[in-house]
Each structure stands twice: as structure tokens, then as C-alpha cells.
Amino acid sequence: MDNEEENTQTDDKKERKLVIPGETIVSAQDHLPGDFTRNDNGEIVATRYGLAETNGRIVKVIPISGVFEPRRGNTVIGRVMDINFSGWNIDIGGPYTAFLPLMECPRFIDRDNLAEFAKLGDVLSLKTYGIKKGSIDLTLKSRGLGRLDGGRLIQINPHKVPRVIGKEGSMISLIKNSTNTEITVGQNGYVWIKGDDAGEGKAEAAIKLIEQESASEGLTEKVEKFLGNKMKKINLEETQESTE
Amino acid sequence: MTYTKRTDGRKFDELRPIRAEVGIIPNADGSALFAHGDTLAIAAVYGPKPLHPQHLQKPDRGIIRANYNMLPFSVTERARPGPSRRSKEISMITENALSSIVDLTRFPGTVIDVEIMILQANASTRCAGINAAAMALAHAGVVMKEMVASVSIGKIDDKICTDITKEEEDHHEGEGATDIPFTLTSRGNMVSHLQLDGKIPAKRLIEAYEAAVAACKKINKYQERALKGEKINENE
């Protein structure tokens, strides 16, 4: 039942235990409380649902669910919610809406017509650069950022993003190559996919599969198998498409 | 006639069969189901997310907005849909019961929406609702000091009964029925919510509290197991 215990997000295989808020992890005698834990009368207690991990003397809980909490320098995908005279309000998920000032756009934009560059509902890939209490500032001044035209936007659990990307992008390039699509994954769990209809659908299904099975072993093989099977079926229908 | 045997044959300190499960609503940030016998509640948590209108925002903390809703088909006589005096009261006490364990200072100016729906009712719906809501909050990755569990203790005639049913609530012989819903925190057994409908001497109230502590401990165990991936459907 507790296959989450085998979860290994990085290469190091540390023992991780699924805990709930209020659950005692260890005695505080020779441990110190880290992220999402507290010391309650000599016991280290989790304050969030997630995987408890001991690193030296520090005990912390790695969250597995919850909304996106932006940090400086995150690459995110957002949707234009509102336009005002000095920039765009962008929904990037999470507790607060973010703001993209006109000044943070790398090319010339007519001040009187911001919608020319990005109108309501447009999807952008952005970077967070300023996080203050209750306000997030975004920028487009970096490589690979800008408006994303066409395609589809899906949302996944932001804590599963590292799994979707894989080690040095291995998982995401596997999906891209075998479905012949362009994919951009935001740290906020928004994923933008562009390709032909069949490819987009398949890539979306593959990403949903990774999200669901993120804790299981041999994830890459599963995804390969899934993509392989799907590819064959589609090839029968559309004979000319080549996979590799 | 005194109340010597419970109408459904349970022991006086025995809970009804429990069902518990998390992750039942895919579009919510966190969700859970909790049932005491025929009383079945589901809860969904959305957020923390931006709060509008702006005048409801608190500059130093977020807020919890609970919405308890009894569905029309949940009772024998069709319940009129929409908010009622009763459902507003229960929404408020749920908010209060949960606010004391949730860390709201992390995201000022935001809201955590808790939607509770009663699919089937046979007394103690607010307790099932709070139990489901606490699990859904944990499942949604909300930072919480500890969990809460809720149970309704009754004094039926002169007997203290755990997790009472509608039939017991309507018991009129002898001293009649008193219904006391308790919500207790999982570590300290602190009372985060208590209501009292009826009459009870102070001494017996302590007895009722002790029964609640024992019952909440069991409920906590069910909540914990459900959050760790089990689908619970069992007798005590």
C-alpha cells in the first residue's frame, strides 16, 4: 500500500516515510526540525502532508501536494487575466496573481495598445524575478521566454514537475520525440503542448500518466511502453507519419 | 423504560462502521470522503488562492471559507436546496473548528475554500463534514499544526453514547436525548469545537468529553490510514 515510501526523486536513495500533519516523525533528542516540521514537547512533528526525510540531524517534510509557491527565478507558464496601463496581470496558479510590467518586455510595444503583444487569454512563458509578500513580478527578458501561440495548456500537480521533466530533461525529450510535439513545462505545473492533434493528445496522456504514477519504479519504461503502443495505433491510421 | 441497549445494537462506546478515502475529486487541490454509518460526507479544498472581493482580504493572514451543504436527496423528506439558517451555522462552526489548526499566516490576503457536501444523512453530519474537511485540507498540502477529529456524543436517557444516530437523537423516554458534537485536536485533545443541544449535568459532560477523546483517537487513526493511501470501509 505504501509504495510512496520507495519514492526517489533524486539519485540518492534515502529512506522516506509518508506522514500527515500532527504525526510524530522522531524524538527531538538528537534531531532538529527542518521544513514543515515543528518541535512539540520533545517530538519532531510534521505540519504538512508529505514525505519525511532525515538529512544528518535535520528532519524535513517534502510536500507532495498543494498549490505552487513561487520562488525567484522560476520559469512558469501563465495566462493573461487582465491588462492595465502599465502591464499585464497573469494567472500562474498558486495563491497570488502575478504582474508582468511593460518594462520587462524585450521588444518595443505600443503603450496605448498592450493587447497587440498579448491579449486576454494568451499564454506566455515567463520568469519570476521579484517575490514580495502578496505580489509576484514577472519578466520576459531571458532566453526562451515569450508568447506561446496555438497548442494546448494543461495543468498538473506542481510537485510532480521534476518527474515530468526527468533527469536532465530525459523524460520530456522522450515525449517530445515520440509524439513530434513542442512542450514547455512551467515550474507552476502548467504544461504547454503544441503539435498535430494526435501528437498533442498523446503527449497530454503521457504527462497525465507520469503525474499519476510518479511514485512507481521504472517510470521511464512505462512511459516508453505507453508511447510505443499509442504510436503503433496511430501509425495504422495515418500511414505516412514516422515516429523517430 | 430506560435505555439499556442501543437501537442498532452497538456498544455504548462503539462507532458506526467507518468509510474513509482521499483524492476522490480530481479537480480539487485536496479532497476526502468520510462516513459514519449512513452519514456520508465529501469535502473538497481549493486554494490558497486570491480572495475577491478585496474587502474580505485580511492583510495579516488568509481566511478559511467553509461551505456546508446538505444535498436534497440526503434525507427522507427532500431538503430544499441552497443555504439555510442551519447550513450557515454549520459552515461557520466548521470554519472556526478548522481555523485553529491551519497555519493561515503563510499566505496573507488569500482564501482556502472548503466545500462540504452531505450525500446521505443519519445524524452527526457536521462531524462527518469536519472529519472529511480535515482530511481534505491535509491532502491539499495545507500547513497544519495537527489534525482534528469530530464525533457526536449523546446522553440518551442516562447513558453516554458515542456517535449517535437519528433514531437515538429522537429518543424521548426517561431523561430524553442530549446531543454534544465535539471536535478535538489529534495531539493535545484540545477542544476546537463543542456544541450542546439539550441538558446535561456538569459531571456527565466530563464523562462525555472522555468518551469523545476515546472516539476521536480511533477516528484519527482512520484519517491517518486513509491519507496514507488506504480505502477504509470497516467496522471497529
Q: What is the mean pLDDT of residues A3-25?
A: 69
pLDDT exceeds 60 at position A6: no
Confidence band, pLDDT 50/70/90 cuts, at residue A1: very low
* Whole-number Å distance between alpha carbons of B124 and B107: 32
B50 — contact with chain A (CB < 8 Å)?
yes
A17 — contact with chain B (CB < 8 Å)?
no
* Whole-number Å distance between alpha carbons of A198 and B221: 46
pLDDT for res A231: 54
Nearest residue of A to residue B187 by CA position? A22
3-state DSSP call for residue A105?
A: coil
A218 — contact with chain B (CB < 8 Å)?
no
CATH 2.40.50.140 fits A75-148, yes or no: yes
- Parallel, antiparallel, or unpaired for β A98-101 and A135-139? parallel
Q: Which three cell numbers stand for residue B212?
A: 469523545
A96 — contact with chain B (CB < 8 Å)?
yes
* Whole-number Å distance between alpha carbons of B44 and B69: 12
Residues facing residue B4 across a β-bridge: none
- Parallel, antiparallel, or unpaired for β A146-148 and A50-55? unpaired
**Domain chopping of chain A, boundaries:** 3-63, 75-148, 152-237
Tell me the one-letter amino acid at B152: S
* Whole-number Å distance between alpha carbons of B22 and B42: 9
Q: How far is A68 from chain B (nearest CA, A)?
A: 10
Give me the sign of the Cα torsion angle B22, B25, B30, B36: negative
- Parallel, antiparallel, or unpaired for β A87-91 and A135-139? unpaired
Tell me the pLDDT tens digit for each residue of A34-68: 999 999 999 999 999 999 999 999 999 999 999 99
* Whole-number Å distance between alpha carbons of B53 and B236: 46
CATH code assigned to A152-237 = 3.30.1370.10
Confidence band, pLDDT 50/70/90 cuts, at residue A109: confident
Q: Quick check: A21 and B146 CB within 8 A?
A: yes
B227 — contact with chain A (CB < 8 Å)?
yes
pLDDT for res A106: 86
Q: How far is A150 from chain B (nearest CA, A)?
A: 24
CATH architecture of A3-63: Beta Barrel (2.40)
Could you check whether the bond before residue B108 is cis, i.e. omega within 30 degrees of 0? no
* Whole-number Å distance between alpha carbons of B144 and B101: 6
Give the residue from B31, B145, B183, B216 with the most A CB atoms within 10 Å of its CB, the best one to mutate: B145
Half-sphere exposure of B89 (CA within 13 A, CB side): 6
* Whole-number Å distance between alpha carbons of A96 and A83: 16
> Using an 8 Å Cβ cutoff, are A66 and B103 in contact?
no
pLDDT for res A235: 54
Tell me the pLDDT tens digit for each residue of B72-106: 999 999 999 999 999 999 999 999 999 999 999 99
Tell me the pLDDT tens digit for each residue of A184-241: 999 999 999 999 999 999 999 999 999 988 888 888 888 988 888 655 555 555 544 4
pLDDT for res A2: 39
Inter-CA distances, B17 with A64, B4, B114, Å = 30, 21, 25
Q: Quick check: B50 and A21 CB within 8 A?
A: no
Q: Quick check: B229 and A47 CB within 8 A?
A: no
Q: Which residue has the cell 480539487?
A: B28
Q: Quick check: A21 and B145 CB within 8 A?
A: yes
B217 — contact with chain A (CB < 8 Å)?
no
pLDDT for res A216: 80
pLDDT exceeds 90 at position B48: yes
pLDDT exceeds 80 at position B55: yes
3-state DSSP call for residue A87?
A: strand
- Domains detected in chain B: 18-231 (3.30.230.70)
pLDDT above 70 coverage of chain A, percent: 88
What average pLDDT does the structure give for chain A?
A: 87
* Whole-number Å distance between alpha carbons of A241 and A232: 10
Q: From A173, A59, A99, A96, select the one nearest B109 (Cα to Cα).
A: A96
Max Cα separation, chain B? Answer: 58
B146 — contact with chain A (CB < 8 Å)?
yes
* pTM, full prediction: 0.90
Q: Quick check: B138 and A49 CB within 8 A?
A: yes
Give me the sign of the Cα torsion angle B39, B219, B22, B17: negative
Answer yes or no: same fold for A3-63 and A75-148.
yes
